[in-house]
Structures are given as C-alpha cells and as structure tokens.
Amino acid sequence: MVLTKKRLLQPGERIRVLVVDDSVVIRRLVTHALEQDPALEVVGTASNGSIALQRIVQLTPDVLTLDIEMPEMDGLATLRRLRTDFPHLRVIMFSTLTERGAAVTLEALTLGADDYVAKASNEGSLDQSMARLRQELIPKIKQFFMQPGKAPAPVPSAAIGVVPASPGPQSIAVPASGKPAPKILVIGVSTGGPTALGALLPELPANFPLPVLLVQHMPPMFTRLLAERLHSTCKLAVEEAGSDSVVEPGKVLIAPGDYHMKITSGVRGVRTFLDQSAPQNSCRPAVDALFSSVGEVYGGAAIAVMLTGMGQDGLRGTEILKAQGASVIAQDEASSVVWGMPGAVVAAGLADKVLPLDQIAREIVRLAGR
C-alpha cells in the first residue's frame, strides 16, 4: 500500500522522523541536519530493521529514513514488513550512487517506498554533506504533509479547454479546426514515477503508433536501470536516450540522469540531443526542457501526460504545448504519491482529462488513434 494524500499537520505539530542506518556517522549526520528545521523532530534512531520495527511501536514516527545495506534485517526486508504492519508510514530510502544501490532502490520503490535520497559521499566537508542533506532530504520529507493554514491549490470545476495567458512567441492559438492529430506522446513524472510507469507503459500495445519521450527525475545510472526494468515488462522497446537517438514509433526514450533531453528535426528525421545547461525548476533532466522542445518541433501535435511528482516542473512546458493545441492528461490526486506536478497542471486549467493512473493508458490509446 502506498499513501497518496498529504496529511494536514495540526498547529504546532512537527513531523516525527525515525532514522534507520547501521552507520553511527550517518545517523548523527541525518539527525543533526533534520533537527535544524523547526517543522521536523527526530524521535529516535535504529541500527537495523529489526530494531526499527520495535521502535516504531514505541515512538510512532510519521516518516522513516531507511538504509538499504544493514546487518540482521536489511532495508528491503524491513520495507516488506513495514508495508504489511505499518502501511501508513512514509518511507524514504537511503541509496548509494552505485549500480547495486540504484538497482536495489528501484526494487524498493516497486515494493512501496515513497521516495529516496542518495547517501552523502565521503568527498567534501561535513558542512557540505549537511547542506546537501538539508537541501535534498528535508523537502522530500515535507512533500507528504500540509502545513496548518496552507490550503491546497483550488482545482477549477470547469478546467477543460481553459488555457491561461502565457506570454512568449510559443504561446499561439489553438487551431480553429480543433486539436491537431497527435504525432508524439510525452510524459513527465517524479516522486512515485517508477511504480506509475510500471503500471502505465506495459498497457501501451505493441502497435502503438507514436514515439514516446519521458522525463523521470532521477540521477545518472538510475535512469538506465529504470529503462532496462521497463523494457523487460513493456511491449514497446524502452531505452535510455543518447545524443542522436532516433525518435520513432515503437520506442520509449527516457531522459538520462543529469542531462536535459530535447529534440531536433532535420533531414535524418527527429532525433534527441542532450545538454547540461542549467537545471530548470532545480531539475536536470527537466520536464519543461523536453516539453518546450517538443513544442518547437511538433507544435500541438502531441499528447502530454503529467504523472505523480513533487513540485511544478512541466507546468510551463505544458502551457506551451496546450496553447498550440496539444491534448493534456493529468494523473488524479487519489492515485498520485505526490500531487505536485499534476496538481499544478490541473490548477492552471491545462488538463483536458484528470484520470486515475489505471485509466490513463486507455485514454492515450484513444487519442493516439484519432
């Protein structure tokens, strides 16, 4: 079971965190980093999963930070027990930036972990490690909770067909004849993405007529392993994009970690190109970078899908595509791990359809066959 709704904190209530790691240094580092935020409270630590399971009953945490490699009971074994015994507990995995760490983290996400962060490397000073932890871990903990007095963004009751004014040369009117026939499917996703993609992409048929490009917020190596995992379960070929990958029907291309994926059209057809220009919305790869590039090549002849994820990456790119006539689908709140990215698209009135995850593939296939 994976929770999907943010929990509203009561006035004065802090988010209770249990830190689980076999390294004394990491436990102290994480504890010190988190306790500098007044909204968080580290209620305890544990050196392995067996001890953590006992302390959950005593300490009633809201969130667990969970190491993967631990003696006696490792992270995956602990996670399986957590999802059975404590289904309402949020779990953030601590991963090493190694191939094994990435593979096990993807396995943890499919087993119901809510998110992950990369462990601090041994390089750099303690202050740098603390700063990186605060920057990466604290927002990932807070994304599952709503502070008192902060109401969710309103969802327009009649959002379909509404396109907010978007200044800029790419914001052109929808063709009078209606939406153009789609020539490409683009997908943006972040927190909860591996599970969402694992449910959605295998539902696309082998004869799906459009190329598929997607951005999943993940670091290098993780995106390659994600592509390999999805390739083994999908009817379409799935691969991590390279520079000059061919954009063609029957293939799903995933933006590689730490690179924006964009496209260009020339005498050799439509191809990808990668760059390491500045992050957009603190993300690289960024959904906005892909969607904006697709607008330049395909105009509104696109289906844009926004799935579960934290933040608002993809909102600007979706505005550009929608203004040119693209069809926009957003995952609904109930089936999203975090309703940040799709929620922003819905709140802006850009979504033609807001659907549960298990209905999105059917709608995509319908639109692709128009």
From the list 62, 67, 313, 332, the catalytic residue is: 313
- Please check the confidence at residue 160 and state whether its pLDDT lies above 80: no
Please say if 171 is a catalytic residue: no
pLDDT digits (tens, 9 = 90+) for 87-102: 999 999 998 878 888 9
Residue of 347, 349, 343, 344 whose CA lies nearest to 323: 349
Q: For CATH 3.40.50.2300, list the domain ranges present in the chain.
A: 7-146
Given its phi and psi angles, is residue 100 left (phi above 0), alpha (psi -120 to 50 degrees) or beta?
alpha
d(CA 42, CA 97): 25
Phi then psi for 239, rounded to 5 degrees?
Answer: -150, 155
252 phi/psi in degrees, rounded to 5? -110, 125
CATH annotation of 7-146 = 3.40.50.2300
- Over residues 243-295, the pLDDT tens digits come to 999 999 999 999 999 999 999 999 999 999 999 999 999 999 999 999 999 99
Alpha helices in the chain (DSSP H): 24-35, 49-59, 75-85, 99-110, 126-142, 193-200, 222-231, 287-298, 315-323, 341-347, 357-368
Least confident of 72-81, 146-155, 184-193, 316-325: 146-155
Catalytic annotation on 313? yes
Instruction: Map residue 303 onto helix, strand or coil.
Output: strand
Q: What is the pTM of this model?
A: 0.87
Nearest to 190 by CA among 8, 297, 314: 314
Q: What is the mean pLDDT of residues 318-328?
A: 97
CA atoms of 226 and 239, how far apart (whole Å) = 9
Q: Which of 95, 217, 245, 260 is catalytic?
A: 217
- Whether 231 sits among the annotated catalytic residues: the reply is no
Q: Token match 């590689």: residue?
A: 256
Domain with residues 184-368, CATH architecture? 3-Layer(aba) Sandwich (3.40)
Question: Which residues of the chain does CATH 3.40.50.180 include?
Answer: 184-368
Q: Using one digit for the tens of pLDDT, what is the confidence trace for 29-49?
A: 999 999 999 999 999 999 999
Q: Which residues, 6+ apart, have CB-to-CB distance to 168 below 8 Å?
A: 320
Rounded distance, CA 364 to CA 203, Å? 10
Catalytic member of 190, 293, 327, 336: 190
SS3 168: coil
- Average pLDDT over every residue of 74-85: 95
Instruction: State the CB neighbour count (10 A cutoff) for residue 205.
Output: 11
Cβ 66 vs Cβ 109: under 8 Å = no
How many C-beta atoms surround the C-beta of residue 338 within 10 A?
A: 24
| E strand map for 114-227 | 115-118, 145-146, 184-189, 212-216
DSSP state letter for 309: B
How far is Cα 180 from Cα 196, in angstroms, rounded to an integer? 27
